[in-house]
Amino acid sequence: MTAMYAVLMAGGSGTRFWPASRQARPKQLLPIGGDLPLLVETSRRLGELIPPERQFVITSQLTVDAVRALLPELPPEHVVGEPEGRDTAPCLGLAGRLVAAVDPDAMVVAMPSDHVITPPELFREHLDAAREALDAHPERLLVFGIEPTHPATGYGYLRQGEKVGEFSGKTLYGLDAFIEKPDLPRAQALLAEGGYSWNAGLFAFRPAALRAAFVSYLPDMVAGLDTIAAAFGSDGFESCLKDVFPTLEKVSIDVGVMEKLDGTLMLPLPVQWNDVGSWTALENLKPSDDDGNVVDGEAVLLNTTSTIVSADGGVVAARGVDGLIIVHTPDATMVCRRDDDQGVKEIVAALRAKDLDVYL
């Protein structure tokens, strides 16, 4: 049976979760909405199907030590720190080459490290179906599609094509098209039409197939990735990574490869999924009280409604407010409207502009 490896993408900065998320401790390393850090939950979700010795984490150089401390079961060399973020195409290209250096015949499943997926048993069943599908179609790439629950405008969509076959009892389709993030009327029309899934950034591939796609669509990146992979396991790996990786084009895997590629497979993934993209994600991760408030930590709320509170140390007290997000940490407090949670990124930019990087 083909060995299955996992690549956990953990390089994001998590700015929309400031002030809890910081450069040296971004959101994937935090226990947002649960008891364990999101990265640890992602690793454990794989269970015995993909044990720690077959997991890789691609993260930032700033967080390599923290990741290794959180996931001590992983071989230390399987935690790789990018010298700088270059988006998902270089990340996945590098991951594919590193897995190939260990097992060129492996099947690789690549996933963000900061999503919540339940139930884990159903998730693993679909990973196993993807392995069976790629055993039958080793030259093709596969993307998982999340069943939409509402007409979301914050996600891209995948258009389902013709049925390809049944694998482990799961129906596999061809992928007709990637759809950019739609406006609300377009999203409503897609759901009414049917046959569309959310694009969650979950992929499966054989390393050789991914490399072939890079040769076709990102040829200037191939030599650099091969150079880094050739140094993997040697004393010169870190130096090579530092010199070569920043020279790679900054581009997403969707734009650089997937939107241009013919023959991609699509496997619907009927799980409960949350991308934990901003503080409002707590609505779906924690219970709300009778006034619609969601609290993570200690809080006293009087005449307060529809407010999200996260308290890391100490207590948050609020009276007579509605529709806010209040986040308290030992050295910073953030307050914004609940319907403006995406604007937290602008707060981070403003802090940087004022040379307040000590709080970032």
Quick one: pLDDT band at residue 315, thresholds 50, 70, 90?
Answer: very high
Contact predicate 91/82, CB 8 Å: yes
Is the pLDDT at 202 greater than 90? The verdict is: yes
Q: Which residues contact 113 (CB under 8 A, 6 or more apart)?
A: 8, 9, 10, 28, 38, 39, 42, 57
Q: Note whether 57 and 131 are same-domain residues.
A: yes
pLDDT in tens, 97-137: 999 999 999 999 999 999 999 999 999 999 999 999 999 99
Report the alpha-carbon distance of residue 36 to residue 233 in Å, rounded: 30
Q: Give all strands (DSSP E) within 29-140, no chain letters.
A: 55-60, 79-82, 107-112, 116-118
Q: Note whether 236 and 103 are same-domain residues.
A: yes
The per-residue pLDDT for 13 is: 85
Mean pLDDT for the chain?
96
Q: Note whether 52 and 10 are same-domain residues.
A: yes
Q: Note whether 26 and 164 are same-domain residues.
A: yes
Mean pLDDT of 158-164: 97
Is the pLDDT at 216 greater than 90? The verdict is: yes
Q: Note whether 260 and 321 are same-domain residues.
A: no
Mean pLDDT of 168-188: 95
The per-residue pLDDT for 87 is: 96
Contact predicate 198/266, CB 8 Å: no
SS3 per-residue string spanning 255-306: HHHHCCCCCCEEEEECCEEECCCCHHHHHHHCCECCCCCEEECCEEEECCEC
Q: Note whether 341 and 240 are same-domain residues.
A: no
CA atoms 230, 231, 233, 234: torsion sign:
positive
Q: Give all strands (DSSP E) within 154-195, no chain letters.
A: 157-167, 170-179
The per-residue pLDDT for 178 is: 94
pLDDT in tens, 256-307: 999 999 999 999 999 999 999 999 999 999 999 999 999 999 999 999 999 9
Total domain count, the chain: 2
Q: Note whether 206 and 287 are same-domain residues.
A: no
Contact predicate 325/307, CB 8 Å: yes
Is the pLDDT at 33 greater than 90? The verdict is: no
Contact predicate 28/357, CB 8 Å: no
Q: Note whether 183 and 326 are same-domain residues.
A: no
β 308-311/316-319 pair status: unpaired
Which among 174, 180, 167 is positioned nearest to 195, based on CA atoms? 174
Mean pLDDT of 36-48: 97
Task: Provide the domain limits for residue 306.
Answer: 279-359
Q: Which residues contact 93 (CB under 8 A, 6 or more apart)?
A: 210, 211, 214, 218, 221, 225, 248
The per-residue pLDDT for 253 is: 96
In the listed set 246, 274, 302, which residue is the last one of a domain according to the structure?
Answer: 274
Q: Note whether 262 and 293 are same-domain residues.
A: no
In the listed set 274, 309, 335, which residue is the last one of a domain according to the structure?
Answer: 274
- Helix/strand/coil percent split, the chain, to 5: 40, 30, 35
Is the pLDDT at 12 greater than 90? The verdict is: no
339 φ, ψ to 5°? -85, 10
pLDDT in tens, 301-312: 999 999 999 999
The per-residue pLDDT for 128 is: 97
In the listed set 254, 274, 294, which residue is the last one of a domain according to the structure?
Answer: 274
Q: Note whether 186 and 39 are same-domain residues.
A: yes
Quick one: pLDDT band at residue 344, thresholds 50, 70, 90?
Answer: very high
Q: Note whether 85 and 171 are same-domain residues.
A: yes
Q: Note whether 250 and 293 are same-domain residues.
A: no
Percent of the chain with pLDDT over 70: 100
Mean pLDDT of 30-50: 95
Q: What CATH number should be reported for the domain holding residue 119? A: 3.90.550.10
Mean pLDDT of 16-30: 95
